[in-house]
Amino acid sequence: MTIDTKDMLNSILSSIARIDYVKPEDIPNIDLYMDQVTTFMEEQLSSTKRHEEDKILTKTMINNYAKNHLLPPPVKKKYSREHVLVMIFIYYFKNILSIKDIETMLAPVTKEYFGSGDFNMTQIYEEICSLEKSRIDTLAKDVARSYQSAEETFADRPEEEREYLRLFSFICNLSFDVYVKKLLIEKLIDELPEPEVPEKKKK
């Protein structure tokens, strides 16, 4: 087995350096039908897909988000710019959090700021993205340090074993970071109040 981990690391670091976000001004300034929303999300976030056949967003997903109160209901079957921003948050969160946790975390934000005047979801999204962009260099350095520490492991093993064991060590290093941060996120979410479930309209 031949694994060029250094080349892989360089590829990962290059990918981190290219991380970008969907800018609010790139979202059409008109309300969109569901088909238009899924097309827009596919175009804007396709670079984040692991496999070509993966779907960024489907009609079923949107309906489930609304059903589970993650997403405010559309107006006359149309979705606003703020709807799209909420869906982008959900897209990133769902990779590490349960739907219930996402609802608990998003509910106070959407309840207070969705559709509000001076300060709304657009300003919140821009502020969060600015914060994340400022951390990219630090993130790249952390990944490089994890790689370097993994390269120092299993020094006593034969060369043909050492290559894969060091790759395994690198993956474990990265996984541990994710595991600890996920535990912390879940602890913080557990301290939040349970979201209020909207009453069903009587028929």
**pTM for this predicted structure:** 0.84
Contact predicate 192/97, CB 8 Å: no
Rounded Cα distance, 27 and 148, in Å? 40
Q: Which amino acid is at 134?
A: S
- CB neighbour class for 34 (10 Å; exposed up to 12, middle 13-18, buried from 19): middle
How much of the chain exceeds pLDDT 90, in percent? 61
What are the backbone angles phi and psi of residue 157, rounded to the nearest 5°?
-90, 155
Q: Which of 138, 136, 165 is closest to 150 using CA atoms?
A: 165
Task: Give the tokens for residue 155.
Answer: 């020094």
Q: What local confidence, expressed as pLDDT, does residue 20 receive?
A: 65
Q: Which residues contact 203 (CB under 8 A, 6 or more apart)?
A: none
Rounded Cα distance, 87 and 40, in Å? 11
Q: Which amino acid is at 203?
A: K
Q: Most confidently modeled of 14-23, 80-89, 134-143?
A: 80-89
Q: pLDDT by residue (tens digit) across 8-30?
A: 677 777 776 666 678 888 898 89
Least confident of 28-32, 95-99, 133-137, 154-158: 133-137
Rounded Cα distance, 42 and 50, in Å? 13
Q: pLDDT by residue (tens digit) across 139-194?
A: 888 988 999 999 999 999 998 899 999 999 999 999 999 999 999 999 999 999 98
- CB neighbour class for 5 (10 Å; exposed up to 12, middle 13-18, buried from 19): middle
Helix axes 34-45, 81-93, angle to 10 degrees: 50
